[in-house]
C-alpha cells in the first residue's frame, strides 16, 4: 500500500515493498475474486489496514486526511476495467475506487472514484497525487448513478481504448474523455478520507477484459 497526506504534504511514503509487475501490456483477460491475496499488496500501519479476507479486499483507513492505494502487480493497456466497491463503515464524505494505467516508478495513474454520499471524481494523479488533474468536470460532481450510504455496492467500469476513456457507475455513463497521458500500467484500489478517518471499503471482482471489436 501507499499513502499520501491530503493537502498537507507532497511526500509519498512507501508502506510496503511491492511485488514486481507480473503481467504484460497486451490484450488479455484478468479476473481477481480476492479469494487469496495473490500479487496484491497487503499490510498495515498506523494509518490503514489492507487485507484480503472472506473473498474481498478490505481496506480500512483510520487516519483523518489521507489517500491510500494498493496495487495488483499487473500491467494492461486497452481493456474494460471493472470492480465492485462497498463502503461498510465510516463517514460518507470520502473517496474510493479504481486506479489504472499506473506507473509504479513515478506513481502516475488515472483514478476513477466515487464517494459514499453520491459524488464522482475522474482524473489523473502525478507523483502519487502531488499534482492532481480532474478530467471530467472541475472536481467532484454529483451523480444519481452512485448508490449512496453504507453497505451499498457500486460497480465501477472504465472502457479504455487508446486515448478514449469511458466511465460508468452501475451501468450508467458518468463521463468520457480523450486523453493519452498514460498508455499502460498496473491496476489498483484506492480509499481517501476527507477530514475524518474510519472509512472501510470492501472491493471485489476486479476484472480486465479485451474490448469487443
pLDDT 10s digits, 60-115: 999 999 999 999 999 999 999 999 999 999 999 999 999 999 999 999 999 999 99
User: Phi and psi for 86 in degrees, rounded to 5?
Assistant: -135, 115
Sequence-ordered list of residues with C-beta below 8 angstroms from that of 105, at least 6 positions apart, any chain: none
Nearest to 93 by CA among 119, 111, 75: 119
Residue 86: which region, alpha, beta or left (left: phi > 0; alpha: psi -120 to 50)? beta
pTM for the model stands at 0.89
Domains along the sequence of the chain with CATH:
2-209 (2.60.120.560)
Task: Give the single-character DSSP code of 117.
Answer: T
Q: pLDDT tens across 133-159, in order?
A: 999 999 999 999 999 999 999 999 999
Amino acid at each position: 500500500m501507499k499513502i499520501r497526506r491530503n493537502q498537507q504534504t507532497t511526500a509519498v511514503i512507501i508502506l510496503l515493498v511491492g511485488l514486481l509487475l507480473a503481467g504484460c501490456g497486451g490484450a488479455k483477460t484478468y479476473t481477481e475474486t480476492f479469494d487469496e491475496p495473490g500479487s496484491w499488496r497487503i499490510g498495515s500501519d498506523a494509518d490503514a489496514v489492507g487485507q484480503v479476507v472472506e473473498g474481498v479486499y478490505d481496506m480500512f483507513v483510520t487516519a483523518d486526511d489521507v489517500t491510500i492505494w494498493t496495487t495488483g502487480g499487473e500491467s494492461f493497456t486497452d481493456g474494460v476495467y471493472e470492480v465492485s466497491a462497498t463502503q461498510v463503515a465510516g463517514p460518507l464524505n470520502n473517496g474510493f475506487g479504481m486506479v489504472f494505467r499506473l506507473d509504479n516508478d513515478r506513481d502516475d495513474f488515472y483514478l476513477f472514484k466515487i464517494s459514499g454520499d453520491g459524488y464522482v471524481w475522474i482524473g489523473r494523479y502525478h507523483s502519487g497525487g502531488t499534482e492532481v488533474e480532474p478530467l471530467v468536470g472541475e472536481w467532484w460532481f454529483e451523480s444519481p448513478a452512485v448508490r449512496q450510504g453504507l453497505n451499498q455496492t457500486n460497480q465501477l467500469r472504465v472502457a479504455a481504448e487508446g486515448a478514449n476513456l469511458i466511465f460508468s457507475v452501475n451501468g450508467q455513463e458518468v463521463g468520457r474523455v480523450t486523453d493519452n497521458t498514460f498508455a499502460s500500467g498496473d491496476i489498483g484500489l484506492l480509499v481517501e478520507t476527507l477530514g475524518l478517518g474510519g472509512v472501510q471499503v470492501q472491493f471485489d471482482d476486479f476484472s480486465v477484459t479485451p474490448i469487443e471489436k
